[in-house]
Amino acid sequence: MAEKIQFELNGKKVDLEVDTDQTLLWVIRTELGHTGTKYGCGEGYCGACTVLIDNEAVRSCATKIGEVAGKKVVTIEGLAKGKELHPVQKAFVEHDALQCGYCTPGMIMNAVGLLNQNPNPSKEDIIWGMEDNLCRCGAHNRIVDAIQTAAD
Ligand code: FES
């Protein structure tokens, strides 16, 4: 059923009428045109669709848009401040922590959520915190190194 919903996306107010059963991922990509957030499995397993909701990493494919009413959503497009990349983005570049890049937005958003909760994680904390974000290219070691650098 279509309803009016308001939330904040990357610092800007969003006010739209939408089927509240739609997923946040679908609304972000299809209704709002922010295609940096990726569709992987669509079932909450791969992490490609990870965004922040009120600073916490969440899978947008498994979140109904109705659940984000009044909340602050940040996607990969909202991390940089102007031309200044977020420290996690910078560290991913520095460590070349990607290959095909499809998982990268979700990896970065999950890493930012992890560092929001634990600003000084051990290597093991990072490995455990990132283990449910899948990378089929095998860039995991460089991803862990990048997150360690961002945390330093
Ligand atoms: Fe959401 Fe895979 S697309 S977890």
CB of residue 105 inside a 6 A radius of ligand 1:
no
- pLDDT tens for residues 31-69? 999 999 999 999 999 999 999 999 999 999 999 999 999
Residue 82 lies in a domain: no
Among residues 27, 45, 77, the one where a domain terminates is 77
CB of residue 101 inside a 6 A radius of ligand 1:
no
- pLDDT tens for residues 92-131? 999 999 999 999 999 999 999 999 999 999 999 999 999 9
| Structure-token match 């959520």, residue found | 113
Beta bridge partners of 72: 8
Among residues 77, 96, 111, the one where a domain terminates is 77
CATH code for the domain in which residue 16 is found: 3.10.20.30
Give the DSSP per-residue string, 53-113: ETTEEEEGGGSBGGGGTT-EEE-GGGTSBTTB--HHHHHHHHTT--SS-TTHHHHHHHHHH
CATH code for the domain in which residue 119 is found: 1.10.150.120
What's the CA gap between 136 and 143, in Å, rounded?
A: 13
Q: Report how far ligand 1's centroid is from the alpha carbon of 25 (Å).
A: 9
* 8 Å CB contact between 10 and 77: yes
pTM metric for this prediction: 0.96
Residue numbers of the domain that contains 99: 87-151
